[in-house]
């Protein structure tokens, strides 16, 4: 995000709170040394006077200066969508989306003849404000597309039928957020063209993913040709091998019956 910088007047590392998405990467990702801050600053100053610069490990905070903020609504939404270690209360899944086709062999969420879209905003590393996500949600709702109910963005909609998000979160910036929808394969091209249209009006990156159920021979003869016809070169995919199964619930005999 580039939210951390050295303030020229304070001469201290400062966080731009408006740009910070509360991903906690600085707090979780940096190693810490717990050195005395005055000592560290003095050494740095003396070295800089002699035009010498220490070459430390770049991922170490010598003074363990970062501390997590107490977040209140609506800012807490930033962390929920930016820090993957925090599970969404709406989904129980760590991260920004749902299980999509990763567990399709167990859930059957996407069936033959259907396509599950993940439309992700702000990824990679650009960030997005909910105001921009709302543009897409409005367009999708207008096209009568159904939103995935167990999705964190859907849970923030004040009006599901119009795709309108809560007013108080529209200015919040997050690292990325995923809108999930499912449509019949006949509507794949229509949805992609709709996404292309909205992309031109928003100021962030959009990442598309399309999940499909393969036929019994393990092939997808329907959606891949549509995507290729639209100009996509299919290079990478997440492939569900179909090894999952629903746990069998073993009925325990009731104690009273056993004793009888």
Interface of this chain with other proteins, residues 166 to 195, rule: CB under 8 A: 175-176, 178, 195
User: Is position 65 an interface residue for other proteins (rule: CB under 8 A)?
Assistant: no
Whether 245 contacts 105, CB under 8 Å: yes
Is residue 131 at the binding interface for other proteins, with CB under 8 A as the rule?
A: no
Residue 206 to residue 143: CA distance in whole angstroms: 19
Q: Which secondary-structure segment (H or E) carries 248?
A: none
CB of 104: closest distance to other proteins in angstroms? 4
Tokens of 147: 């939103």
Least Å distance, CB 159 to other proteins, is 25
- 143 vs 226, beta carbon nearer other proteins: 226
Place of tokens 């957020």: 177
Query: Which of 76/202 has CB closer to other proteins?
Result: 202
| Region of 9-17, 45-53, 79-87, 251-259 interacting with other proteins (CB under 8 A) | 79-87
Tell the smallest beta-carbon distance from residue 171 to other proteins (Å).
19
Site for other proteins in 22-41 (CB under 8 A): 23, 25, 28-35
Q: Which residues pair with 31 in a beta bridge?
A: 60
Q: Applying CB under 8 A, which of residues 6, 53, 56, 254 lies at the interface with other proteins?
A: 56
CB 136 within 8 A of CB 10: no
Calpha distance 169→73 (Å, rounded): 9
Give CA torsion, residues 160, 162, 163, 164, to 10 deg: -100
Q: Is 7 in the site for other proteins (CB under 8 A)?
A: no
Q: Is residue 123 a contact point for other proteins (CB under 8 A)? A: yes
Binding mask 237-256 for other proteins (x = CB under 8 A): xxxxxxxxxxx---------
What minimum distance in Å lies between the beta carbon of 260 and other proteins? 29
Query: Is residue 199 a contact residue for other proteins (CB under 8 A)?
Result: yes
Which of these, 147, 146, 130, lies nearest to 202 by C-alpha position? 130
Cβ closest to other proteins, residue 145 vs residue 176: 176
With 0-12 CB in 10 A as exposed, 13-18 as middle and 19+ as buried, what is 39?
exposed
Decide whether 154 or 176 has the Cβ nearer to other proteins: 176
The distance of closest approach from Cβ of residue 161 to other proteins in the complex, given in angstroms and rounded to an integer, is: 26
- ∠214-219-223 over CA atoms, to 5°? 70
* CA torsion angle 199 75 97 176 (round to 10): 40
What number of chain residues touch other proteins (CB under 8 A)?
Answer: 88
């Amino acid at each position: 995000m580039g939210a951390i910088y050295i303030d020229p007047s304070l001469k201290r590392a400062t966080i731009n709170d408006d740009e910070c998405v509360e991903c906690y990467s600085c707090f979780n990702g940096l190693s810490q040394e717990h050195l005395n801050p005055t000592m560290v600053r003095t050494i740095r100053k003396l070295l800089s006077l002699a035009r010498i610069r220490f070459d430390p490990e770049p991922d170490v905070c010598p003074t363990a200066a970062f501390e997590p903020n107490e977040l209140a609504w609506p800012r807490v939404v930033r962390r929920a969508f930016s820090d993957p270690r925090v599970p969404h209360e709406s989904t129980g899944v760590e991260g920004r989306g749902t299980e999509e086709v990763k567990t399709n062999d167990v859930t059957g969420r996407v069936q033959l003849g259907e396509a599950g879209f993940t439309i992700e905003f702000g990824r990679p590393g650009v960030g997005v404000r909910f105001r921009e996500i709302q543009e897409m949600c409005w367009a999708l709702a207008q096209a009568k597309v159904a939103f995935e109910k167990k999705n964190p963005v859907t849970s923030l909609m004040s009006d599901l039928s119009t795709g309108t998000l809560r007013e108080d979160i529209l200015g919040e910036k997050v690292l990325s957020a995923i809108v999930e929808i499912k449509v019949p394969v006949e509507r794949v091209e229509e949805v992609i063209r709709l996404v292309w249209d909205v992309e031109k009006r928003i100021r962030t990156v959009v990442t598309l993913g399309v999940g499909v159920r393969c036929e019994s021979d393990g092939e997808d003869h329907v959606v891949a040709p549509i995507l290729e016809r639209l100009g996509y070169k299919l290079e990478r995919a997440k492939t569900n091998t179909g090894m999952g199964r629903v746990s069998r619930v073993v009925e325990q005999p009731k104690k009273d019956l056993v004793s009888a």
